[in-house]
Structure 1
Amino acid sequence: MIFPAMDLMDGGCVRLLKGDFSARTNYAADPVEVAQGYAAAGAEWMHIVDLDGAKNGATAQTELILKVANSAKIKVQTGGGIRELSQVQTLLNGGVDRVVIGSLAVTNPQMVKHWLETLGPDAICLALDVNQSEDGEFRPAIKGWTEPSKKTLWDVLSDYLGSGLKTILVTDIGRDGMQTGGNLDLYKRIQSDFPTIDLITSGGVGTLDHVRDLKALNPHGIIIGKALYEGAFTLDDAITC
């Protein structure tokens, strides 16, 4: 399943390069119209990130995200800056289908496990955005990708076993926005080590061959952002290839 991505800052659509807020590209596209276009092309879901929230640790684009969720016939998962259960409930009650938890999933797993128990596994997706460190290990970055975690990706995922966690989204930050292909080896290991968890891949898609390579892994979903904004191929092409 293809998840077209939308990153929001200051009320508009943007993309970052490798998670660098200083390497930002603004797109002259209305978020509601973009979402409606994705729905018309056949996408069942889309992925929206509140980048202001991710950077500053406080949700900033909630009103716009709910407007998008209620203006297009498409399911929405969204995250960025979420720190309180009330924020999750506001999004879910307002029309969002699944809330994506990033930094907090790493820094406060007990709280997130409580949310999983309270809201159910379908309401929560963990976003683990990783960098490969000098020792070869993949470690999640937190606070809008501005700080590394001491925990490895495998430490974090192992800690959630038995919690009811159903869905994860893993981004290789080093490939994000680069359009050089997804990290197939990383995703294969995740699927091998954690076969009961649905994996959504993210980062690096630049061609339809990259999409086909990821589809061959049969993940739960494939997130595509920059390649769609810049017209490398159409959403319909990605869905049908």
Structure 2
Amino acid sequence: MSFVVYPALDIRDGQVVRLLQGDYAQQTTYGDDPLPRAQAFAAVGARWMHLVDLDAARAGGYTLAPLLAQIAASTSLKVQTGGGVRGRDDVARLLDAGASRVVIGSLAVRDPGSVLAWLQEFGPDRLTIALDARQGEDGVWRLPVHGWTETADATLDELALRYAQAGMEHLLCTDIARDGMLSGPNLDLYAHLSRRLPGVAVQASGGVRDVADVAA
């Protein structure tokens, strides 16, 4: 299985931002130029990018369709995007707007029955299941949802295996404790997921600082 680097843009109120550990009160703003940044990624050889609507992740109602269309029209990038997917029609609209894959996060935790059906309807290559996790003191990886402000009952291991058994091809997993921290990725977590989910393309997210982290 090949290794692909996904440059990521998180958008809030039209700004390119990063949050510390998903905390909306701890935001660093980098500018109001998401399209030129996407074009710059494409210019240096990126094939995919990851685009997140942070406003929609908390409140619902995806707002980046115009930006998605501009990226599709002006670059060769394939885009996986999400934030605020609340139902089947949201998935269809994002695919129609030019997304190559739709990222489903909170709903994948809250309503796996529906999301499992969408894997069959749209095809597993069109959906990325995002199971963002925080490790408890007991060592168990649990799944905060709703912009990482609430915690679900299911564990990462339980739900990831359920999706894999149903045909999931793409799993995005963020170690929330490392997200936006530039502290290095959780290599143990991704090694564990790769062993547990053979045949699933695991997307590692959170903590990447430099090319050495990518190589690791």
Q: What TM-score, normalized to structure 1?
A: 0.85
Whole-angstrom distance in 2 between the partners of 1:209 and 1:160? 31
Question: Shift of the alpha carbon at 1:70?
Answer: 2.7
Equivalent residue number for residue 112 of structure 1 = 115
The answer on 1:175 being equivalent to 2:178 is: yes
Which SS does the other structure have where 1:187 is aligned? Answer: helix
Question: Shift of the alpha carbon at 1:10?
Answer: 0.9
Which SS does the other structure have where 2:7 is aligned? Answer: strand
Unaligned runs of 5+ in 1: 214-241
The answer on 1:2 being equivalent to 2:5 is: yes
Which SS does the other structure have where 1:3 is aligned? Answer: coil
Whole-angstrom distance in 2 between the partners of 1:99 and 1:136? 30
Question: Shift of the alpha carbon at 1:72?
Answer: 1.9
Please point out which of 14, 22, 35 is paired with 2:38: 35
Equivalent residue number for residue 77 of structure 2 = 74
Question: Shift of the alpha carbon at 1:140?
Answer: 1.3
Alignment of 1:130-149 (within 5 A): 130-149=133-152
Whole-angstrom distance in 2 between the partners of 1:189 and 1:96? 29
The answer on 1:15 being equivalent to 2:18 is: yes
Equivalent residue number for residue 50 of structure 2 = 47
Question: Shift of the alpha carbon at 1:29?
Answer: 4.4
Whole-angstrom distance in 2 between the partners of 1:177 and 1:211? 15
Identify the structure with bigger relative contact order (alpha carbons < 8 Å, sequence gap 6+): 1
Please point out which of 85, 103, 106 is paired with 1:103: 106
Contact 2:15 2:34 in 1 (8 A): yes
Whole-angstrom distance in 1 between the partners of 2:101 and 2:67? 16
Which SS does the other structure have where 2:6 is aligned? Answer: strand
Unaligned runs of 5+ in 2: none
Whole-angstrom distance in 2 between the partners of 1:66 and 1:139? 35
Whole-angstrom distance in 1 between the partners of 2:45 and 2:56? 29
Question: Shift of the alpha carbon at 1:68?
Answer: 2.5
Question: Shift of the alpha carbon at 1:133?
Answer: 1.2
Whole-angstrom distance in 1 between the partners of 2:123 and 2:184? 33
Contact 1:32 1:72 in 2 (8 A): no
Question: Shift of the alpha carbon at 1:25?
Answer: 1.1
Which SS does the other structure have where 1:7 is aligned? Answer: strand
- Aligned pairs, how many? 213
